[in-house]
Amino acid sequence: MQTITPQQLKQRLAQGEKLDIIDVREAEEVALGMIPGAVHIPLMEIPDRLSEIPNDRETILVCRSGNRSGRAYDFLTAQGFTKLKNMSGGMLEWEQL
């Protein structure tokens, strides 16, 4: 599994990179805050919303702690997605930066 740390992601965003970020948390969780520019696709909706997830460029998956985004990573990899990264530590770690 390819990963990216919250620190690495924050640095890349600060440098102005335009990144594809998918937040797989539930609506009540994202209501408390999301990474700027992230797209909200709850984990259980991913199978029905594959067309919204880029397969031709790096896509970073985010959740609360890294577990659900890891499950999304495994599912998407099985569907043929190859340019994925899971944000280790999730939003719990992101919020500590």
* Catalytic position from the list 9, 24, 38, 63: 63
* Cα three-residue angle 44-46-50, rounded to 5 degrees: 160
Residue 63 is among the residues annotated as catalytic for this protein: yes
Phi, psi at 5, each rounded to 5°: -85, 155
Any residues with CB less than 8 A from the CB of 56 and at least 6 apart, and which? 83
**Which residues are annotated as catalytic?**
63
